[in-house]
Amino acid sequence: MSDTDARTAHLLLTHEVAEFLYREAELLDERRYDEWLALLADDLRYWMPMRRNVKFGEEGREFTREGQDIAWFDEGKDTLTRRVRQIQTGIHWAEEPVSRISHLVTNVQLVEATPSAAEAREVTARCRFLIYRNRVETETDILVGKREDVLRRPNDSEGGDGWQIARRKIILDQNVLLSKNLTFFF
Amino acid sequence: MSDPINIRALMPGTQITLTDGAVAEIVSNPADGVWVFARYLDSPRDPALVGQEEMIFAQDVVAAAPPK
Amino acid sequence: MATANSSAYRPGLVDMKTGQISREIFVNEQIYAEEQEKIFARAWLFIGHESQIPNPGDYAAARMGEEAVILCRDRTGEVHVFLNSCRHRGMKVCRYDEGNTMVFTCPYHGWSYGTDGRLVGVPFFREAYHSQLDRAQWGLVEVAQLARYKGSVWATWDPAAPPFLEYLGAASGFLDLQLDGWDGREGQAEVLGGVQKWLIPCNWKFPAENFSGDTYHNISHRSVDLAGIGPSGSGRRDMSELLAGRKLHVCLPDRGHQTILYLSPPDDTPRPAYQNTPLVAEYFRHCEEERRRRLGDKARLLGAPGEIFPNTALLSRQPRTMAAWHPKSPHETEVWRWFFVDKDAPSEVKNFLRDYYIRYSGPGGMTEQDDMENWNYAHAASRGTIARRHPYTYEQGIGTAVENFEWQGMRVPGRVVDITDVRSSEEPARNLYRRWAEFMQADSWDELMTWRKNARAAAE
């Protein structure tokens, strides 16, 4: 493959991944939760570690460990589905009335594509997010951070671009959580 | 007047020269950039300090030689 | 005098006869300020757990009331709690959440303290201080009393406070349920890594009363019961404690501690739990067998939400967690939440439980989220001039508590309401606020230790 072809493939794939992430954000902002759940791989891991203030040189202690320590989220598709079902009961008071929310996704970078950018079946993508959540009268939360996603396109995918989210690591830029709850999705 | 030295990451065994001409060897370093624990090797101003382990303040350190 | 005109607290705000409590105690700025003196400066407060600081030099950030403190273990292995503030000009001497250190050094002028709190480093001590400063007088401010109970660490600023075990009274039993092993061995709990800390927009007493034993608020959590988040996906809990036994409110009036407890009948057959996960189910089956063998009759008591006065919440079953409701302002609270497992449980069990804990509790907790929403807006709706004229009612089950409760051979201490059939009572909240009022009114600990007076009177 020529250098131009490789760069073109990379560009197209980055664009495709960004479009996927924007469409995913659209579903969440529009509260189309069942369609959002359909984008999640069955073996999805969804993890948001907590962060500590640590001494210079002790960066290894900053994040709580996946699968071992307490986190804000460390779960799979089943639990996320239950969260959606909880909202859909219409009596999940923390999300009733429902929040107004916008997910801003930016700084999308393609980190890795397997087997190649031209024929990608799995990609690792990083991005930044700003989630603006406004609730009831004046309650407002702004949560900012980074995401590292592994997206997969199964061989026998139907329709659309077929991407699924296989893994999502959410790095929130907060120590003490400034929001009273996390009833929404990152 | 010498440039300031960051004592935060100086290893034990480092020899430091102090403002009063004393020389001490770092025994342990709390890595706060403010203090080190060092044993006096040479102390013209107060020879009784030789052999003693003291807390040395960052501003008193004018030079540092890495351990051999 | 405690109730002089200048104090915002006055008798009558908490009315035990009618069970009515004024909204002022939740929203009034001056009452909040008085609480910092009358309650948080005098009571025993939960600091953390020794498993957070296993080695000499280990430290963890902690909080007492509004104030930042440091929990640490010195070089000799002794545990200390210090005010996190340099004695010279007040700067925090530690702004990390945890770590290991030789000294705590102030970044302002460089004063440095050992992990035992002693002032060990003073820049230019010989020159600028002419060696005159009496360093022994200027160590970190240390709590007046510190207690370690099965790994939990508690402290008070008040030297006149009774020793911790005396402060607890029969509530040591509630803590035992929290900290002893699932198999009944003493003090097996360890903290899972990471303390959850988050802000909630309400007064600290909303969560404190909730965890004291609010058995009336199932409607708050109906959505989670419908969606199902138990380990097996059915309802909030997998342990059907209630089926054959009694559900109790147990209140210790002279201490201000209270809890929900489950009391099984003697010779009750253990009910299988966690059926969907065989490895975990077998582990807990074995633990329960051991627990009954070790504890005998005492094994009939199982824990549930409870509160150690003033602001420490217990929950010893599902999830196994403790919380501290740290006051930040009348209208804001910072919650700290610790989660526990038995230190030698297999990692599959720890992981299974950890997974459940964090989807139940905390800001990501499907259950706790709805509690916080209610506390938030209950507080907000109570701030207005008109709202404050209308007290809350806590009269549910008033006058129905009994002392010397006994059921099928098991005696339960304190004032007890059997809520198995009546479904609920508000005795725990009344118990909490009765004690709150006593603290707000008492000039000294002498007035608060009525059990000592009663013991003396009984002896005479």
Alpha carbon of residue A106 to chain centroid: 12
As a whole number of angstroms, the distance between CA A179 and CA A140 comes to 9
DSSP character at residue A72: E
Distances (CA, A) of C361 to A87, A163, A183, C371: 17, 32, 12, 10
pLDDT for residue C122 is more than 80: yes
pLDDT for residue A23 is more than 90: yes
Instruction: Name the residue among C4, C29, C23 with its Cα closest to residue C330.
Output: C29
End-to-end CA, chain B: 26
Inter-residue contact C235 to C372 (CB < 8 Å): no
How does residue C228 score in pLDDT terms, banded at 50, 70 and 90? Answer: confident
How does residue C235 score in pLDDT terms, banded at 50, 70 and 90? Answer: low
C-alpha count within 13 angstroms, C-beta hemisphere, residue C139: 13
pLDDT for residue A9 is more than 90: yes
DSSP codes of every residue in C390-446: S-EE--TTTT--BSSEEETTEEE-SEEEE-TTT----HHHHHHHHHHHHHHH-SSHH
Q: Tell me the percentage of chain A whose pLDDT exceeds 70.
A: 97
Q: Which residues of chain B make contact with A55, given a CB cutoff of 8 A?
A: 31
C211 versus A157: which is more confidently predicted?
A: C211
Instruction: Name the residue among C388, C374, C353 with its Cα closest to residue C238.
Output: C353
pLDDT of C6 reads: 80
Here the tokens at position C309 are 């006065």
Mean pLDDT on C346-368: 95
pLDDT of C392 reads: 98
pLDDT of A158 reads: 55
If one counts every other C-beta atom within 10 angstroms of the C-beta of residue C41, the result is 15
What lies within 8 Å, CB to CB, of C321 at 6+ separation is: C315, C337, C338, C339, C340, C357, C361
pLDDT for residue A152 is more than 60: yes
What CATH code would you report for C170-459? 3.90.380.10
Instruction: Name the residue among C142, C104, C96 with its Cα closest to residue C120.
Output: C104
Q: Which CATH number fits domain A3-172: 3.10.450.50, 3.30.1490.100, 3.10.20.30, 3.30.70.580?
A: 3.10.450.50
In three-state secondary structure terms, A143 is: strand
Q: Return the amino acid letter for A51.
A: R
pLDDT of A156 reads: 61
Here the tokens at position A66 are 């996946």
Inter-residue contact A71 to A47 (CB < 8 Å): yes
pLDDT of C272 reads: 82
Q: Which residues of chain B make contact with A57, given a CB cutoff of 8 A?
A: 9, 31
Mean pLDDT on B37-59: 97
Q: C interface mutation test: which of A68, A70, A81 has the most C CBs within 10 A? A: A70
What does the mean pLDDT of chain C come to? 95
Q: Do B34 and C110 touch (CB under 8 A)?
A: yes
Q: Which residues of chain A make contact with C229, given a CB cutoff of 8 A?
A: 79, 82
User: Would you list the domain boundaries of chain A?
Assistant: 3-172
Q: Do C112 and B35 touch (CB under 8 A)?
A: yes
Q: Tell me the percentage of chain C whose pLDDT exceeds 70.
A: 96
Of C102, C107, C123, the CB nearest to B30: C102
Mean pLDDT on A72-87: 97
Cβ-count burial C360-372 (b if 16+ within 10 Å, e if not): bbbbbbbbbbbbb
Inter-residue contact C246 to C280 (CB < 8 Å): no
CA distance C281 to chain A (A): 20
User: Would you list the domain boundaries of chain C?
Assistant: 45-145, 170-459
Mean pLDDT on C422-436: 98
pLDDT for residue C237 is more than 90: no
pLDDT for residue C20 is more than 70: yes
Mean pLDDT on A21-43: 98
Inter-residue contact C34 to C301 (CB < 8 Å): no
pLDDT for residue A69 is more than 80: yes
Here the tokens at position A153 are 């396109």
pLDDT digits (tens, 9 = 90+) for C253-280: 999 999 999 999 998 888 888 888 999 9
pLDDT of C231 reads: 63
Cα angle for residues B43, B45, B48 (degrees, 5° grid):
60
pLDDT for residue C25 is more than 70: yes
Say whether residue C124 is in contact with chain B using an 8 A CB cutoff. yes
Q: Which residues of chain A make contact with C195, given a CB cutoff of 8 A?
A: 70
pLDDT for residue C138 is more than 70: yes
pLDDT for residue C212 is more than 90: yes
What CATH code would you report for C45-145? 2.102.10.10
CA distance C65 to chain B (A): 28
How does residue C186 score in pLDDT terms, banded at 50, 70 and 90? Answer: very high
How does residue C240 score in pLDDT terms, banded at 50, 70 and 90? Answer: low
Which residue's structure tokens are 């945890």?
C98
Inter-residue contact C198 to A177 (CB < 8 Å): yes
As a whole number of angstroms, the distance between CA C433 and CA B54 comes to 54
Q: Do A178 and C201 touch (CB under 8 A)?
A: no
Q: C205-213 vs C368-380: helix axis angle to the nearest 10?
A: 130
Mean pLDDT on C418-443: 97
How does residue C314 score in pLDDT terms, banded at 50, 70 and 90? Answer: very high
Mean pLDDT on A64-70: 96
Q: Which residues of chain B make contact with C124, given a CB cutoff of 8 A?
A: 57
